């Protein structure tokens, strides 16, 4: 009589259990990656809103300097950037900080991506530069409105609302 237990290999039950464990691991990693991408959009939305709030506060606190935040699309790196500038009254503008948004993140205004609006000259420089009034903190440039931040790797979108009258900045959850 032939004893089949002596032959090498895997049983059908062992194969099914292994494939099931691999499927569970892949499913859990996909869920974890979505959480990372969602928090990435939240993080960058909060960073941009914070930068705008800081510029407004600095504008009211310091009387001899002007603070500006500009949204731009860097065509060499294919990514959005937010650049904060300070301009003393008697000197030229200098960069304070720069937020480089990750590739694959889109910033839109009015349903159109800023990349498209900038590249086709459909949005003026003053419409993407945030400048604030030194006495009230109100927005004095034409950049007021709702900006949508989204990522191609997740379905999450965050709205940043900049109010012209009082210069307030809100992040919609």
**pLDDT tens, residue by residue, 95-110:** 888 999 888 888 888 8
Helices within the chain (DSSP H only): 12-61, 114-119
Euclidean distance between the first and final Cα of the chain, in Å? 71
Partner residues linked to 150 by β-bridges: 106, 157
Report the predicted TM-score, pTM, of the whole model to 2 decimal places: 0.72
Q: What confidence score (pLDDT) does residue 19 get?
A: 92
Which residues does 140 contact at the CB level (< 8 Å), separation at least 6?
131, 132, 133
pLDDT tens for 23-76 read 888 877 666 665 555 568 888 888 988 898 888 888 888 878 888 899 888 888
b (16+ CB within 10 A) / e for 83-112: bbbbeeeeeeeeebeebebeeebbbbbeee
The answer, yes or no, to whether residue 7 has pLDDT greater than 80, is: no
Phi, psi dihedral angles at 66 (to 5 degrees)? -115, 135
């Amino acid at each position: 009589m032939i004893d089949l237990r002596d032959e090498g290999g895997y049983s059908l039950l062992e194969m099914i259990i292994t494939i099931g464990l691999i499927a569970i691991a892949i499913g859990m990693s996909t869920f974890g990656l979505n959480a990372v991408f969602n928090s990435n959009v939240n993080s960058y939305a909060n960073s941009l809103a914070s930068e705008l709030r800081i510029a407004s506060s600095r504008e009211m606190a310091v009387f001899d300097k002007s603070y500006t935040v500009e949204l731009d699309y860097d065509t060499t790196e294919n990514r959005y950037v937010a650049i904060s500038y300070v301009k003393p009254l008697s000197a030229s503008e200098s960069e304070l900080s720069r937020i480089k948004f990750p590739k694959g993140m889109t910033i839109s205004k009015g349903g159109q991506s800023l990349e498209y609006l900038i590249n086709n000259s459909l949005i003026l420089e003053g419409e993407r530069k945030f400048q604030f009034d030194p006495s009230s903190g109100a927005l004095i440039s034409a950049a007021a409105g709702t900006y949508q931040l989204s990522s191609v790797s997740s379905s999450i979108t965050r709205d940043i609302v900049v109010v012209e009258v009082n210069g307030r900045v809100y992040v919609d959850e």
